[in-house]
């Protein structure tokens, strides 16, 4: 969240846009998106001449394109979209296209500090990453996943290093997949590699690696752990360090390993989506202690309560003191905080949002086709036709609500004590 202190935190409600008016301007309007500060409301729309533009608070971008999609606000308030111009693809920032054009361009990602935009591209039958308008110098045969470093300076992707003939299973098992960082491939090739992830300073990359039909390990800067496992899931760096943590499978059970050594006593039926507290001291993950039951494990301790359907990734409070997660049981969703599920269950719940001091939790939820802000598990009086995640002011005293009611998009700031009353 860039500049969050300078947003308008005065309690009050603003009418920003009229949905019918926007819809009236276009033959077709795609999904709406709102700016982080709630001041802007936008959607891609199709004009009468079958070109597309973005409508921002009712004003259109001046230069329509042949096709516009994936319209999203990014944390610093820029509105980006993927656009086709003269049968070539590019990324548009607030209506202005990047200079580079590609045969295809997709999957934009924003760096953790909110400053950099990257996307994947295809040009001349080669694949690469473009970062802030600058493409990699070298393209590759194929590409699947990528990551952008927290400082937004580097990108890394899984790449296919050379072409294989059709159904060349032998070439495949010799290894033609690797990681390229800023366009430079690692020296090591693997049967497969997935999910590259940067460390805090963008100097190291870790990834899942498969070295034989059923041999899996973790690779960091092209060097693998010495251990070989039955399977692995996405590794991540411990914040502020060069240590890598990943769930690995041994003898049919999942354990948590750091730098190749087991760090938790518990062995699980399943273990994935490892997350660290912001200070890197605590670690949590989704765990299945027994077949068919799911919960969260934090620092090797498993929540007492388990859920049958699904548990989503753990979310730490800013101070790292609490852990919350979306949980699903008997077809309904809720939030559990430190192992205690809310009493209310919903058709859908969005990821929990902690107050800056970690005391309170808000979440957007859906019930009977309407959306509501659930505060510490308590139902509010109001519900909305559309709703975006709530945002706490930096001091935690105010809450920004962004919603559609009676056909109009509103931005409203309310004192936190009213929401949690």
Partner 1 sequence: MEELVEKKVVDAGLDETIKKLTPQRIKEVVNRVLTRENAARLQVYLDTCVHCGLCAEACHTYLSRDNDPRFSPVGKVKETLWELVKRKGNVEPEFIRNMARIAFTECGVCRRCSMYCPFGIDIAYLLLVVRRICSLLGVVPQYLQDTTNSHAATSNQMWVNQDEWIDTLQWQEEEAQFELPSARIPLEKEGADVMYSVIAPEPKILAQLLANMAIIFKVAGEDWTMPATDGWDNSNMAMYSGDFEIMGRVEKLHWETAARLKVKKIVMGECGHAFRGAVYDGPRWLGWQFPPIPMVHAIEYYYDILSTGKIKIKEKYKEPITVQDPCNTVRGRGLGDKLRYIMNTICEDFRDMEPRFEHNYCCMAGGGTINCGPPWKRSRMVSNKVKAEQLKETGAHVVCTPCHNCHSGIEDIIGHYNLGLHVKFISELLIETMEIPEELKV
Partner 2 sequence: MYEFARGPLVWIAFIVFFLGLFYRLVMMIIQSRKDKVVLPYIKMKEGINSIAHWVIPFGSRNMRLRPAFTIISFLFHICLLITPVFVLGHIVLFQQSWGISWWHIPEQITNIMTMIVVVGGLFFFLRRIGDPTVRFVTSWSDFVLLIIVLAPFITGLMAYYQAFDYRTVITIHMISGALWLMVIPFTRIVHMLFFPFTRAYMGSEFGYVRNAKDW
- Given partner 2, partner 1, none, residue 30, with its beta carbon under 5 to 8 Å by kind, binds partner 1
- Given partner 2, partner 1, none, residue 69, with its beta carbon under 5 to 8 Å by kind, binds partner 1
Neighbours of 363 (CB within 10 A): 25
Identity of the residue, 107 or 270, whose beta carbon is nearer to partner 2 in the bound complex: 270
Identity of the residue, 63 or 309, whose beta carbon is nearer to partner 2 in the bound complex: 309
Structure tokens at 361: 């939790």
Query: Which residues contact partner 1 by CB under 8 A?
Result: 28, 30-31, 67, 69-70, 103-104, 106-107, 120, 122, 127, 142-145, 160, 166-170, 172-173, 177, 191-192, 194, 210, 213-214, 216, 230-231, 251-252, 269-270, 272, 288, 291-292, 294, 308-310, 312, 328, 331, 347-348, 350, 366
Distance CA 27, CA 46 (A): 6
CB 81 within 8 A of CB 71: yes
Nearest to 255 by CA among 281, 218, 221: 218
Rounded least distance, CB 118 to partner 2, Å: 41
Q: Residue count at the site for partner 2 (CB under 8 A)?
A: 3
Rounded least distance, CB 290 to partner 2, Å: 9
Rounded least distance, CB 386 to partner 1, Å: 9
Element (H, E) at 272: strand 270-276
- Strand order across the beta sheet in which 270-276 lies: 270-276, 283-288, 295-298, 301-302
Instruction: Detail the DSSP E strand segments found in 102-204.
Output: 104-110, 117-123, 126-131, 134-135, 142-148, 155-160, 177-181, 184-185, 192-198
Distance CA 331, CA 298 (A): 25
CB 392 within 8 A of CB 398: yes
- Given partner 1, partner 2, none, residue 87, with its beta carbon under 5 to 8 Å by kind, binds none
Rounded least distance, CB 328 to partner 2, Å: 18
Site string for partner 2, 288-307 (x = CB under 8 A): ---xx---------------
Rounded least distance, CB 306 to partner 2, Å: 13
Rounded least distance, CB 292 to partner 2, Å: 6
Site string for partner 2, 225-264 (x = CB under 8 A): ----------------------------------------
DSSP-derived secondary structure for 151-168: TSS-EEEEEE-S---TT-
CB 44 within 8 A of CB 71: yes
Rounded least distance, CB 214 to partner 1, Å: 6
Instruction: Detail the DSSP E strand segments found in 317-407.
Output: 323-329, 332-337, 340-341, 348-349, 353-354, 361-367, 370-375, 386-387, 391-392, 398-405
Rounded least distance, CB 269 to partner 2, Å: 8
Q: Look-up: residue for tokens 């059970």?
A: 253
Identity of the residue, 91 or 416, whose beta carbon is nearer to partner 1 in the bound complex: 91
Distance CA 183, CA 120 (A): 12
Identity of the residue, 243 or 269, whose beta carbon is nearer to partner 2 in the bound complex: 269
How does DSSP classify residue 125? T
Identity of the residue, 292 or 343, whose beta carbon is nearer to partner 2 in the bound complex: 292
* The one among 60, 160, 188, 269 contacting partner 2 by CB under 8 A: 269
- Given partner 2, partner 1, none, residue 122, with its beta carbon under 5 to 8 Å by kind, binds partner 1
Identity of the residue, 145 or 398, whose beta carbon is nearer to partner 1 in the bound complex: 145
β-bridge mates for residue 32, sequence order:
43
- Using only the alpha carbons of the chain, give its radius of gyration: 23
Distance CA 327, CA 298 (A): 15
Q: Is 160 in the site for partner 2 (CB under 8 A)?
A: no
- Given partner 2, partner 1, none, residue 78, with its beta carbon under 5 to 8 Å by kind, binds none
Judged by the rule CB under 8 A, the positions of this chain that interact with partner 2 are 269, 291-292
């Amino acid at each position: 969240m860039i500049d969050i202190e300078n947003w308008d935190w005065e309690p009050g409600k603003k009418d920003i846009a009229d949905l019918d008016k926007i819809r009236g301007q276009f033959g077709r309007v795609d999904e709406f998106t709102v700016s982080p500060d709630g001041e802007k409301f936008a959607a891609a729309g199709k004009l009468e001449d079958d070109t597309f533009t973005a409508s921002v608070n009712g004003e259109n971008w001046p230069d329509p394109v042949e096709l516009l999609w994936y319209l999203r606000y990014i944390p610093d308030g820029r509105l980006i979209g993927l656009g086709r111009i003269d049968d070539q693809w590019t990324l548009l920032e607030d209506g202005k296209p990047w200079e580079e054009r590609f045969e295809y361009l997709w999957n934009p990602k924003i760096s953790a500090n909110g400053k950099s935009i990257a996307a994947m591209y295809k040009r001349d039958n080669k694949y690469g990453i473009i970062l802030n308008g600058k493409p990699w110098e070298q393209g590759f045969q194929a590409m699947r996943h990528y990551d952008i470093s927290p400082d937004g300076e580097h990108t890394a992707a899984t790449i296919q290093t050379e072409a294989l003939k059709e159904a060349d299973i032998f070439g495949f098992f010799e290894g033609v997949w690797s990681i390229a960082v800023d366009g430079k491939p690692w020296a090591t090739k693997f049967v497969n590699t997935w999910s590259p992830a940067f460390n805090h300073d963008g100097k190291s990359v870790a990834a899942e690696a498969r070295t034989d039909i059923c041999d899996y390990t973790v690779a960091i800067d092209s060097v693998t752990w010495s251990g070989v496992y039955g399977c692995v899931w996405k590794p991540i760096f411990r914040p502020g360090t060069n240590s890598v943590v990943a769930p690995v499978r041994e003898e049919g059970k999942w354990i948590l390993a750091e730098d190749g050594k087991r760090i938790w006593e518990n062995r699980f039926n399943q273990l994935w989506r490892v997350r660290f507290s912001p200070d890197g001291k605590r670690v949590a993950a989704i765990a299945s202690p027994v077949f068919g039951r799911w919960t969260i494990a934090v620092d090797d301790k498993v929540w007492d309560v388990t859920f049958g359907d699904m548990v989503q990734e753990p979310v730490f409070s800013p101070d790292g003191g609490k852990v919350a997660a979306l949980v699903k049981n008997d077809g309904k969703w809720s939030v559990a905080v430190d192992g205690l599920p809310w009493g209310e269950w919903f058709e859908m719940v969005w990821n929990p949002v902690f107050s800056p001091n970690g005391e309170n939790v808000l979440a957007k939820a859906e019930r009977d086709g309407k959306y509501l802000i659930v505060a510490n598990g308590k139902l509010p009086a109001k519900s909305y036709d559309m709703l975006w995640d709530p945002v706490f002011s930096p001091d935690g005293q105010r809450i920004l609500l962004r919603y559609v009611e009676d056909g109009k998009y509103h931005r409203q700031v309310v004192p936190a004590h009213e929401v949690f009353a």
